[in-house]
Amino acid sequence: MSHPLLDPRGTPRVMGVLNVTPDSFSDGGRWADVDAALAHGRRLAAEGADLVDVGGESTRPGARRPDVAEELDRVLPVVTGLVADGVAVSVDTMRAEVAAAAVAAGAQVVNDVSGGLADPAVLDVVADAHRASSDLVYVAMHWRAHSHEMTGFASYDGPGGVVAGVVAELGDRLAAAVAAGVGEDRVVLDPGLGFAKTGDHNWSLLAALPALEALGRPLLVGASRKSFLGSLLADTTTEPPTPRDVGEREAANVAVSTLAACAGVWGLRVHDVRASLDAVAVVRRWRAAGGDRA
Ligand code: PMM
């Protein structure tokens, strides 16, 4: 069955991040009012984003959760406004009420960073849409706990370490989604870089994308501006080393976009859409020239 968002295209879709929050680590407060958020969402779409991912809950370590009404207030006017402009919208939420309202307003993707663990009723919202023959895409990310406690869950002691752990737990989330009635052919999986993971865990996962692809679903990767890139690029002349500022990690993110595109992922979740689209163009042209047959 052909799917407008999931059909293989050879190179990744680019999802632009639009956090309508006062406190996200990367862009908190910048798009917190509706007009600023709409203007930024339109800019991301004009730059060529395949999707704009609208989120109303910060997942930075230690963040306070908004209540449902607060999250709806942040997200819904932005989803509605972007959909009215013809922008393909994804909603970044762990809550069934928010997912349902955003889907009713025209969102094409539910991006659930908890993969249905935080609020299993999200799976019912997606399943209901699928029963009504909707093309709604469900992104299930690997997650273990809410942000205020996730660092305590960053250990993967079983055989195969973090890669085997994430493959097994994502496989469980996929099975739970399908058991709830979600169409397996409309699920995307995401290793959840930085969520209950150390920097080393993130690198191990990026080095093992084929193992995640073995789950049989398209993959989304979100490395943009995350602290493992800040640590990689830290100034080591200070003691302790000073992480590279959030706003100065983009070249490294483009490198991640490039390697993830070469590994065949479905999507890249990024703040700088243009920069990752450039990386995607390079990979596409390199492939056309026979690059990955060498
Ligand atoms: N990361 C963040 C938020 N939502 N969704 C998916 N699917 N994958 C991610 O890696 C992801 C996400 C946190 O980053 P942000 O604060 O810059 O949005």
Predicted pLDDT at 31? 72
Q: What is the CATH number of the domain that holds 156?
A: 3.20.20.20
pTM for the complete prediction? Answer: 0.96
Which are the contacts of 232, defined by CB distance < 8 A and separation ≥ 6? 199, 244, 252
Ligand 1 centre from 269 Cα, in Å?
A: 7
Token code pair at residue 165: 């752990």
Confidence of residue 26 (pLDDT cuts 50, 70, 90): low
Residue 43 is assigned to a structural domain of this protein: yes
Average pLDDT (204-213) is 97
By alpha-carbon position, which residue is closest to atom 11 of ligand 1?
A: 222
Confidence of residue 292 (pLDDT cuts 50, 70, 90): confident
Instruction: Tell whether ligand 1 has an atom less than 6 A from the beta carbon of residue 220.
Output: yes
Q: What is the pLDDT of residues 35-86, one digit of tens each?
A: 999 999 999 999 999 999 999 998 887 778 899 999 999 999 999 999 999 9
Whether 74 sits among the annotated catalytic residues: the reply is: no
Q: How many domains does the chain have?
A: 1
Confidence of residue 294 (pLDDT cuts 50, 70, 90): low
Residue 124 is assigned to a structural domain of this protein: yes
Ligand 1 centre from 191 Cα, in Å?
A: 11
Predicted pLDDT at 28? 64
Residue 26 is assigned to a structural domain of this protein: yes
Residue 280 is assigned to a structural domain of this protein: no
Instruction: Tell whether ligand 1 has an atom less than 6 A from the beta carbon of residue 15.
Output: no
Angle at 274 between CA 270 and CA 279, to 5 degrees: 80
Token code pair at residue 198: 């150390």
Predicted pLDDT at 185? 97
Token code pair at residue 246: 């959030």
Q: What is the pLDDT of residues 178-194, one digit of tens each?
A: 999 999 999 999 999 99
Residue 176 is assigned to a structural domain of this protein: yes
Residue carrying the six token digits 């999986």: 189
> Facing residues of 189 across strands?
140, 219
Confidence of residue 255 (pLDDT cuts 50, 70, 90): very high
Domain coverage including residue 26:
13-224+264-273
Residue 49 is assigned to a structural domain of this protein: yes
Instruction: Tell whether ligand 1 has an atom less than 6 A from the beta carbon of residue 190.
Output: yes
Please state, for a pLDDT cut of 70, what percent of the chain lies above it.
Answer: 98
Residue 245 is assigned to a structural domain of this protein: no
Whether 226 sits among the annotated catalytic residues: the reply is: yes
User: Is 227 a residue whose pLDDT tops 90?
Assistant: yes
CA atoms within a 13 Å half-sphere pointing along the CA-CB vector of 263:
23
Predicted pLDDT at 2? 75
Distance separating alpha carbons of residues 125 and 98, to the nearest angstrom: 10
Token code pair at residue 40: 């930024």
Confidence of residue 30 (pLDDT cuts 50, 70, 90): confident
Torsion of CA 279, 285, 290, 291, to 10 degrees: -20
Ligand 1 centre from 212 Cα, in Å?
A: 18
Average pLDDT (151-175) is 96
